[in-house]
Amino acid sequence: MMAAIVMKCTPPKPSVESIRLAIISSSFSGRWMSSSFSAARTYRPGIVASRNQRIANAHRRAKPLLEVIKGMTGATVREMANALNEAGYRASRGGPVTYNTVTRALARAGLEAPIMPRPKKPTKPKSRKSIRARARRYEVFRTPEYAYTSLFDYCPDWFVGHGFDPAAGDGRMIREIIQRGNPGPHFVNDIRDEELATLSDWGQATISDYLTMGDPPVCNFMVTNPPFTKAVEFVQKARAHVSGPICILQSTRWQSTQKRSEWLRTAGLALVLNLPRRPQWEVDSGDVVKNNVMDFAWYIFLPGYDGRPEMDWLVDNAANPDRAGCHFGDG
């Protein structure tokens, strides 16, 4: 008996190149049979077609929408789109009808989209971010109490005799000096007529522009918060009729310009006292301007002083009549 010989044949393993070739050929044949290259279908969304084909098909798909849109006289484009969506109409590719769908359909039909004026939204007042803008809005702002009481605590001997505030506002700094036991008489001045009634309670009150005042009062000290752009002129004028300290509240950047720096070296500036808290300016309505981003300091000018200024900080424990700063200009 003859034994049957069975041989097992293993098919050869396909190479990478043959697999890649098979994928390319199958992909190309499928695309050829089902795409715009087929003679049975000249256009298929998502497959490249000629420009004329795309225009013709766009007009054809927009035709049902146009028939409805033409009858929607007086409606805005947005109202047309909402009405078409509610009626079940869809855009050419199956999506919802949008603002652009309606405007394109109208353009293809040679129609203009109706332009309706949009109702104006109530405008909010512009935010007042800067201190200067807030000051213009309220017309005046007041120096908070902690900005000057720390100065009076620092060296009470400076504030003896007759005082003067040429930009007094409501006279609060001179009022504080009176309440601390110095009855004066003192002098208060402001440029605003509205301040006269209040100022009269705290000294000999005048209403005028200090820089044009012909006969300013002779006094022993001056303490004031002048306008930023006029602080130099205030000091120069005060040196002619103030026999003691001239105390000016200004921002720390006031000392930084080239021209002002040269002037400060020879103006008798004896001491710069930095405020540890940024002043939050108060207004008569009771509001507080909380967005002050500048640091402030008191600049103390003394008659006859020709040295370099010293610097200190008006912290809570700064009160000390024996400190060197209180004796600038002595003997």
Beta-sheet pairing, 296-301 with 204-207: unpaired
Q: What is the pLDDT of residues 26-57, one digit of tens each?
A: 544 444 444 444 444 444 555 556 777 766 76
Q: What is the pLDDT of residues 207-255, one digit of tens each?
A: 999 999 989 999 999 999 998 889 999 999 999 999 999 999 999 999 8
pLDDT at 327: 57
Type and span of the H or E element at 328: none
> Which pair of tokens denotes residue 75?
């409606």
CA distance 142 to 176: 14
DSSP code string of 170-232 = TTHHHHHHHHTT-----EEEES-GGGHHHHTTSSEEEES-GGG-SSPPPBSEEEE---GGGHH
pLDDT at 322: 54
pLDDT at 137: 47
DSSP assignment letter at 272:
E
DSSP assignment letter at 131:
H
pLDDT at 194: 86
Cβ neighbour number for residue 17 with a 10 Å cutoff: 8
Identify which of 265, 228, 222 has the alpha carbon closest to the alpha carbon of residue 245.
222
Q: What is the b/e burial string over 105-123, where b = at least 16 CB atoms within 10 angstroms of the residue's CB? A: bbebeeeebeeeeeeeeee
pLDDT at 288: 61
* Bridge partners for 250 per DSSP: 297
Question: Is residue 141 a contact partner of residue 152, using CB atoms and an 8 Å limit?
Answer: no
Q: What is the b/e burial string over 291-319, where b = at least 16 CB atoms within 10 angstroms of the residue's CB? A: ebeeebbbbbbbeebeeebeebebeeebe
Question: Is residue 217 a contact partner of residue 162, using CB atoms and an 8 Å limit?
Answer: yes
Q: Taking the CA of residue 310 as centre, how many other CA atoms within 13 Å lie in the half-sphere pointing to its CB?
A: 11
Question: Is residue 226 a contact partner of residue 202, using CB atoms and an 8 Å limit?
Answer: no
Query: Which residues have C-beta within 8 Å of that of residue 42, sequence separation ≥ 6?
Result: 36, 49, 53
Identify which of 166, 173, 164, 165 has the alpha carbon closest to the alpha carbon of residue 143.
173
Helix/strand/coil for 298:
strand
pLDDT at 36: 41
Identify which of 263, 248, 254, 259 has the alpha carbon closest to the alpha carbon of residue 299.
248
Given a cut of 70, the residues of the chain with pLDDT beneath it are 1-49, 54-55, 57-66, 92-94, 115-119, 121, 123-139, 285-292, 317-331
pLDDT at 16: 54
Q: Positive or negative, the Cα torsion across 158, 162, 168, 173?
A: positive
Query: Which residues have C-beta within 8 Å of that of residue 32, sequence separation ≥ 6?
Result: 38
pLDDT at 44: 53
pTM value is 0.58
> Which pair of tokens denotes residue 47?
């497959």
